[in-house]
Amino acid sequence: MNVYIFIKNKSKGYLALGVHISRDDLRWSVHTDIVRAKAAQVLGFAARNLRKCTQKVKRVSFLSLVKPILMYGLPAWHPTTQENMTKLERVQKRALRFIYGRQPPPPQETNIMPVEMHLKYTDLNFFKRCQGGAIDLTRALASQNVASCEAM
């Protein structure tokens, strides 16, 4: 059984299971830009519509609407450059200003991990699950014949 996971995206590169890969250099910059723009758009929508809500409602809206967009598929596309990390951090800082005002408290008080710390936590969690047997990468890859489209 062949599973086709790549879809050609003519403008910027390829789309693989919701993760964008640049056509020329196979970097994550394209994906980071797309994710940042989408998260910023959703954050803007939430900020416009939840302006008069409590901090708790704003925080829940960030954690349920924006953060999943930023963090989807992290073990696959973990941003490796500081530039990509900065793009994601900007969105989160904007969200913290939306939730707590111009002077947001430190991360210990907000209970929202900074992006870099969250990325490290996600990586450690993924590798721990692989080591513990919850995710069996060798069996999953060996049992399927993963192929790419002819259009690539």
Residue 83 lies inside a defined structural domain of this protein:
yes
Give 149's Cβ-side CA count (13 Å radius).
11
Residues 100-136 have pLDDT tens digits of: 999 989 888 988 999 888 888 888 888 888 888 887 7
Look over the chain and give the mean of its residue pLDDT values, rounded to a whole number.
80
Q: Reduce the secondary structure of 61-121 to three states and give it as a string.
A: HHHHHHHHHHHCCHHHHCCCCHHHHHHHHHHHHHHHHHHHCCCCCCHHHHCCCCHHHHHHH
Residue 117 lies inside a defined structural domain of this protein:
yes
Residue 8 lies inside a defined structural domain of this protein:
no
Residue 121 lies inside a defined structural domain of this protein:
yes
Residue 136 lies inside a defined structural domain of this protein:
yes
132 is in which domain, residue-wise? Answer: 29-144
Tell me the pLDDT band of 5, cut-offs 50, 70 and 90. low
Residue 53 lies inside a defined structural domain of this protein:
yes
Domain count, the chain: 1
Tell me the pLDDT band of 147, cut-offs 50, 70 and 90. very low
